[in-house]
Amino acid sequence: MSGDLLDLALRLPHVEYIEEDSAVFAQSIPWNLERILSSRHQAGAYGASSGGGLVEVYLLDTSIQSGHREIEGRVTVTDFVNVPEEDGTRFHRQASKCDSHGTHLAGVVSGRDAGVAKGTSLRSLRVLNCQGKGTVSGTLVGLEFIRKSQKAQPTGPLVVLLPLAGGYSRALNAACQHLAKVGVVLVAAAGNFRDDACLYSPASAPEVITVGATNAQDQPVSLGTLGTNFGRCVDLFAPGEDIIGASSDCSTCFVSQSGTSQAAAHVAGIVAMMLTAEPELNLAELRQKLIHFSAKGVINEAWFPEDQRVLTPNLVATLPPSTHRAGGRLLCRNVWSAYSGPTRMATAVARCAPDEELLSCSSFSRTGKRRGERIEVRAGRRVCLAHNAFGGKGVYAVARCCLLPQANCSVHTAPPGAGMETRVHCQQQGHVLTGCSSHWEATDPGVYWWPVQRPGQPDQCVGHGDASVHVSCCHAPGLECRVREHGIPGRAEQVTVACEEGWTLTSCSALPGASLVLGAYAMDDTCVVRTRDISAAGRTCEEATVAAAICCRSWPSQHASGEHQ
């Protein structure tokens, strides 16, 4: 309405006042907020925090309309601006367009009505222009601004939300690593290119919690011909389609947006709430707990390219219950390496985070041609190595990385023996076996018999006589482990065995039967052995393929001391 019409309307005899139109909404929980509630919460009661405590979230994005009722009083717009010029001579900088992306994400994180961590404080840095475009250099300067601000005026826990993606950048990943080392938690969008997230930054940085996007049916988000990124660099998924949040069109407007930026904002909000409850949590503990409390196995993996399905986590983030301590539960996750490449002596390396223990090492090859795996110490840290074989097209190393405070772990190796089997056991008193692995020095071993822990021999691994066999052994307060096996006679594409309730899978290995083993790896606390339906050399069609799991639990110190008195 023009000013003249407004003035005329106010003069009409029956018009007392005129109010700007605004939106009204049905009073139900938005689907995305309902989705991040786990079954541990009471149905229909969204228990988000009403205050963020000392936790601050830094948002690197576009500018923000800080006066929006959703985020008013919660956002501090810093004076940091580092953006490129907009493309095109006809581009007009409309304020509502320039603020759109950042305002929406700020609302998703801490909005009064539609936010995950209601009331959490945000600080806004502008690194994207009105077209949503920025530069690596601008983002680097923004991260340095955060580091200097933290150093000049230390506060409580910091979360940095990076709802942006560009091509792989070693410099940007290194900056994320540097910030993570000083205790900052970084959460990044996986990217909207329907591609491997490892090809993009900051999504590919191991120190970043990388988030893909799912819809209301827990399926990967499609955005036209594109969609959410996927692969081994993604840690988990979160709601990212038709997300209702603050709109920059007016101070009371709302809008729906989609993408991995919105998904990352959900996880940033969850992390802020976790840190409010437990400010002492480090990055490794946060990541492990996010994985532990996520909804598992709900995504239809057929959406992903076939070669990415085994690498992509089938996890959708949920909000941990208000008492979200794991109660002494041993928490573990998989870390997949990059593909080794097809050369005869190619190796793949998988590494755990600094605050995690590597409890076992396995490998996977799409052709089944691999020379095994082993744990090796490099630069004072244990790493998982996998070896390609002659004629193979490459191999993945799979590290089983766990939170095991006060652990003392070691690896013991037995070289190839003179007989049909090679055996090795834990040599130190009080140490328990957490993993078995083996490898052949020959580039074409010709037979693929992987080591297993046998029932009745809880402290040793048994492997082929021509292979070196390795055991991973650990001592930690209250740690105990046991073996579980399951076999299927004849040919089988997959064999699984799961740990019992309360026990955590620390190692997964296979004894091949009539099928060629492609590899063994963990899916949550289930050991999965993948095979190809061809007869293995020297084996009959009736021999069973066996999945062997080592399952461990770690009692709290008080319980453990009482148990062993």
CB 46 within 8 Å of CB 38: no
From the list 132, 271, 154, 153, the residue with the least C-alpha distance to 208 is 271
CB 241 within 8 Å of CB 208: no
Residue 348 neighbours by CB under 8 Å, 6+ apart: 337, 338, 339, 340, 363, 385, 386, 388, 394, 395, 396, 397
Residue 122 pairs in a beta bridge with 57, 75
- Residues marked active site are found at 61, 101, 261
Distances in whole angstroms, Cα of residue 522 to Cα of each of 206, 301, 416, 516: 20, 16, 27, 18
Distances in whole angstroms, Cα of residue 549 to Cα of each of 48, 453, 482, 511, 516: 38, 8, 8, 11, 19
DSSP 68: S
- Pull the structure tokens for residue 93: 């900088």
Question: From the DSSP assignment, how many helices (H) and strands (E) are in the chain?
Answer: 8, 33
Read off the amino acid at residue 139. Answer: T
Distances in whole angstroms, Cα of residue 183 to Cα of each of 157, 178, 204: 8, 9, 19
Distances in whole angstroms, Cα of residue 534 to Cα of each of 19, 387, 394, 513: 75, 22, 19, 10
- What would you measure as the largest C-alpha separation in the chain, in angstroms? 107
DSSP letters spanning 225-291: TEE--BSTT--EEEE-SSEEEE-TTSTT-EEEE-SHHHHHHHHHHHHHHHHHH-TT--HHHHHHHHH
What's the N-to-C CA distance of the chain in angstroms? Answer: 82
Q: At what angle do helices 95-110 and 260-277 cross, to 10 degrees?
A: 40
Residue 330 neighbours by CB under 8 Å, 6+ apart: 402, 403, 404, 479, 504, 506, 552, 553, 554
Measured CA to CA, the distance from residue 424 to residue 132 in angstroms comes to 57
Read off the amino acid at residue 390. Answer: F
Q: Kindly report the backbone phi and psi dihedral angles of residue 57, in degrees, each rounded to the nearest multiple of 5, phi listed first.
A: -110, 125
Q: At what angle do helices 170-181 and 136-152 cross, to 10 degrees?
A: 10
Residue with tokens 């049916």: 217
Measured CA to CA, the distance from residue 529 to residue 250 in angstroms comes to 55
CB 197 within 8 Å of CB 204: yes
